[in-house]
Structure 1
Amino acid sequence: MKVTIIFITGILSLLSYSCNKLDLPPMNIIQDKDVFSTESGITAYLSRLYYDLPIENFSATKDGFRRLSWPTSGNCSGEMLIVQNDMLYDSPSGDWFQNWNYGAVRNVNYFIGEFPKYKNNYTQAQADQWLGEAYFIRGYYYFAMVKRYGGVPIIKTPQYYPQQSLEELKVPRNTEKEVYDFIIEDLDQAIKLLPEKSIAKGRVNRYVAYALKSRACLYAGSIAQYGAMQLNNILGIPKEQAEIYFKASYESAKALENSYSLYRKFPDKFENYWNLFLDENSPETIFAEYFIYPEKTHSFDLHNIPYQMRGAPGYSSRLNPTLDLVEMFDDINGNSGTLDIGPENDPKRFSNTMDVFVNVEPRLRGSVILPGDIFKGEAIEIQKGLYTSFPSGELKTSADFNALYNGKNIIGKSGMGHPETTITGFLVRKYQNPKMERSQVLGSRSTQAWIDMRYAEVLLNRAEAAFQIGLIDDALKCINEIRDRAGAKLYTKDQLTEKSIQKERRMELAFENHSYWDLRRWRIADKEINNRQYKALSPYYIFNEKKFIFKKEYVGGKYTFYPKVNYAKIPEGEIAKNENLQQNPGY
Structure 2
Amino acid sequence: MKRSIFIIIISSIMIATSCGDYLDIVPDNVATLDYAFKDRVRAEQYLATCYSYMPRHGLCESPGRFDDFATTYGNQNWAGFQLGWTVLKEGNNVNSPIINYWDGLRLWGGKSLWKGIRDCNIFIERLDEVRDLESYEKPVWIAEVKCLKAYYHYFLMQMYGPIPIVKENLPISASKEEIMVYREPVDDVVEYIVQLLDEATPDLPLKIDNPIAEQGRFTQAIALALKAKVLVTAASPLFNGNKDYTSFKDHLGRNFINPVEDPAKWQRAMVACKNAIDTCHAAGHALFEFRDVSLNLSEQTRLIAQVGQIVTDKWNSEHIWGYSGQGTDSYGRNVGSYNIGWYNDVYSMPALDALHIPVRVGVYVPTMKAVECFYSKNGVPIEEDVTYDYANRYDLTVTTEEDKLLVQPNVLTAQLHLNREPRFYGSIGFDKGWWYGVGRYDENQQWPINAKAGEISGPIGIERYSLTSFYIKKLSNFYGVYNQTVYVNKAWEWPIIRLADLYLLYAEALNETLASPNQEVYQYIDIIRERAGLKGVVESWSNYSRFSQKYTTQEGMREIIQRERSIELAFEEQRYWDLRRWGRAPQELNTTIQGWYYLGENNSDFYHVTSYMDMNYTRKDIFWPIRQYNLSVNTNLVQNPGW
TM-score using structure 2 length: 0.75
| Paired position in structure 2 for 1:535 | 594
Deviation at 1:39, TM superposition (A): 2.9
The Cα shift of 1:16 comes to 9.4
Match of 2:167 in 1: 156
Q: Determine if contact 2:150/2:197 at 8 Å carries over to the other structure.
A: yes
Corresponding residue to 1:181 among 172, 175, 191: 191
- Say if 1:83 and 1:487 are closer, same or farther in 2 by CA, change over 3 A: farther
* Contact map agreement 2:435 2:473 (CA 8 A) in 1: no
Query: Do residues 278 (structure 1) and 303 (structure 2) align?
Result: no
Sequence identity, in percent?
Answer: 23
Q: Which moved more, 1:316-325 or 1:49-58?
A: 49-58
1:330 aligns with 375
Are residues 1:239 and 2:260 paired?
A: yes
Q: Of 117, 125, 136, which residue of structure 2 is paired with 1:113?
A: 125
Alignment: residue pair count = 533
Displacement of 1:300 after TM fit?
Answer: 2.3
| Other structure's SS at 2:321 match | strand
Q: Could you tell me which of 17, 22, 28 is aligned with 1:11?
A: 22
**Is 1:326–1:364's contact at 8 Å kept on the other side of the alignment?**
yes
Secondary structure at the aligned position of 2:312 is classed as coil
| Correspondence for 2:622 | 566
Measured after TM superposition, the shift of residue 439 of structure 1 is: 3.9
Q: Is the 8 A contact 1:224 1:239 kept in 2?
A: no
* Distance apart, 1:83 and its partner CA: 3.4
- 1:321-352 deviation per Cα after TM superposition (whole angstroms, max 9, x unaligned): 01211111111213433585875997444433
Aligned to 2:581: 521
For 1:348-363, what aligned pairs fall within 5 Å after superposition? 348-350=397-399, 351-352=410-411, 356=415, 357-363=417-423
Match of 1:392 in 2: none
**Is the contact between residue 302 and residue 312 of structure 1 (CA under 8 Å) also seen in structure 2?**
no
Deviates more, 1:102-111 or 1:5-14: 5-14
Structure 2 CA distance for aligned equivalents of residues 265 and 12 of structure 1:
47
Query: Structure 1, residues 112-139: CA drift from partner, whole Å, max 9, x if none?
Result: 1222454x75444312210110110000
CA RMSD of aligned residues (A): 3.4
Q: Distance in 2 between matches of 1:4 and 1:51?
A: 9
Q: Which residue of 1 aligns with 2:552?
A: 494
Distance 2:316 2:202 in 1: 26
Out of 576-585 and 37-46, give the one that drifted further.
Answer: 37-46
- Hey, what does 1:503 align to over in structure 2? 563
Q: Pick from 252, 277, 298: which aligns with 1:256?
A: 277
Question: Residues 576 and 314 of structure 1: is their aligned pair in 2 closer, same or farther, counting only changes over 3 Å?
Answer: farther
Cα distance in 2, alignment partners of residues 324 and 4 from structure 1: 42
Matched, 1:81 2:71: yes
Give the distance between the partners of 1:576 and 1:444, measured in 2 at CA. Answer: 49
Q: CA deviation at 1:429?
A: 1.1
**Cα gap change, 1:467/1:279 in structure 2, threshold over 3 Å: closer, same or farther?**
same
Contact 1:10 1:578 in 2 (8 A): yes
1:288–1:353: structure 2 CA closer, same or farther, 3 Å change rule?
farther
Structure with the largest fraction of helix: 2
How many Å apart are 1:442 and its aligned residue? 6.0
Candidates 91, 97, 100, aligned match of 1:98:
100
Determine if contact 2:367/2:595 at 8 Å carries over to the other structure: yes
Of the candidates 528, 543, 554, which is equivalent to residue 482 of structure 1? 528
CA offsets 1:356-399 (integer angstroms, 9 cap, x no match): 43422111222222322123334343343xxxxxxxxxxxxxx5
Question: In 1, distance between residues paired with 2:363 and 2:26?
Answer: 35
* Residues in 1 aligned to 2:306 and 2:628: alpha-carbon distance in whole angstroms: 47
What secondary structure does 1:247 align onto? Answer: helix
Decide whether the 8 Å contact of 1:220 with 1:242 is kept in 2: no
Corresponding residue of 2:447: 379
- Does residue 313 in structure 1 map to residue 358 in structure 2? yes
2:226 corresponds to 1:212: yes
Q: C-alpha separation between the residues in 1 aligned to 2:395 and 2:33? A: 77
In the alignment, structure 1 residue 35 sits paired with structure 2 residue 36? yes
In structure 2, the CA distance between the partners of 1:346 and 1:104, relative to structure 1 (3 Å rule), is closer
Q: Deviations over 1:528-566 (max 9, x none)?
A: 122x213214599998xxx88973513311111111211
Q: Note closer, same or farther for the CA distance 1:346–1:314 as it changes in structure 2 (3 Å cut).
A: closer
Distance (Å, rounded) in 2 between the aligned partners of 1:207 and 1:13: 30
Secondary structure, counterpart of 2:198 in structure 1? helix
The Cα of 1:245 is off from its aligned counterpart by 4.9
2:456 paired with 1:413? yes
Q: What is the one-letter code of the residue matched to 2:227?
A: K
Contact 2:56 2:325 in 1 (8 A): no
Deviations 1:464-500 (A, max 9, x none): 1111111643222111111111223321142752111
- TM-score under structure 1 normalisation? 0.81
C-alpha separation in 2, matches of 1:539 and 1:51: 40
Aligned residue identity for 1:213: K
Per-residue Cα deviation, 1:191-212 (whole angstroms, up to 9, x for no partner): 1221101252121101100111
- State how far apart, in whole Å, the 1-side matches of 2:599 and 2:75 are: 23
In 2, Cα distance between the equivalents of 1:314 and 1:274?
21
| Partner in structure 1 of residue 424 of structure 2 | 364
Counterpart code for 1:30: T
Structure 1 contact 311–439 (Cα < 8 Å) conserved? no
2-structure distance, mates of 1:321, 1:429:
10
Partners of 1:85 and 1:542 in 2: how far apart? 21
Q: Is the 8 A contact 1:84 1:423 kept in 2?
A: no
With over 3 angstroms needed to count, the CA separation of the structure-2 counterparts of 1:474 and 1:347, relative to structure 1, is: same
| Matching residue of 2:477 | 433
Give the deviation of 1:42 after TM superposition. Answer: 2.5
Deviation string for 1:388-418 (max 9, x for gaps)?
Answer: xxxxxxxxxxx5x3xxxxxxxxxx2111585
Could you give the per-residue CA deviations for residues 501-522 of structure 1, whole angstroms, max 9, x where no partner exists? 1111111111111111111111
Verify the 8 A CA contact 2:288 2:316 in the aligned structure 1.
Answer: yes
1:165-186 Cα shifts (integer Å, max 9, x gaps): 1221111111111111111111
Maintained 8 Å contact 1:83/1:318: yes
Cα offset, 1:108, TM superposition: 0.4
Equivalent residues of 1:344, 1:551 under 8 A apart = no
Residue 556 (structure 1) aligned with residue 546 (structure 2): no
Deviations 1:422-453 (A, max 9, x none): 22121011221323332487699773211111
Task: Please give the alpha-carbon distance, in whole angstroms, between the structure 1 residues aligned to 2:508 and 2:593.
Answer: 27
**Kept in 1: contact 2:481–2:488 (CA 8 A):** no
Does residue 192 of structure 2 align to residue 147 of structure 1?
no
- Alpha-carbon distance in structure 1 between the residues aligned to 2:372 and 2:477: 25
Residue segments in structure 2 that go unaligned for 5+ positions in a row: 1-13, 77-81, 103-112, 292-298, 327-334, 400-409, 441-445, 539-550
- How far 1:53 sits from its partner (Å)? 1.3
CA distance in 2, matches of 1:124, 1:439: 50
Change (3 A) 1:539 1:579: closer
**Aligned-residue offset at 1:454:** 0.7
- Tell me: CA distance 1:234–1:572, structure 2 relative to 1, closer, same or farther (3 Å): farther
What is the identity, as a one-letter code, of the residue corresponding to 1:364?
F
Matched to 1:142, the amino acid is: H
Q: Secondary structure at the match of 1:433?
A: coil
Write the deviation string for residues 69-118 of structure 1: whole angstroms up to 9, x where unpaired.
xxxx343x210221353686415336443311211111001111222454
Paired residue secondary structure (1:235) = coil
| Cα distance in 2 between the residues matched to 1:554 and 1:285 | 37
| Residue type of the alignment partner of 2:428 | V
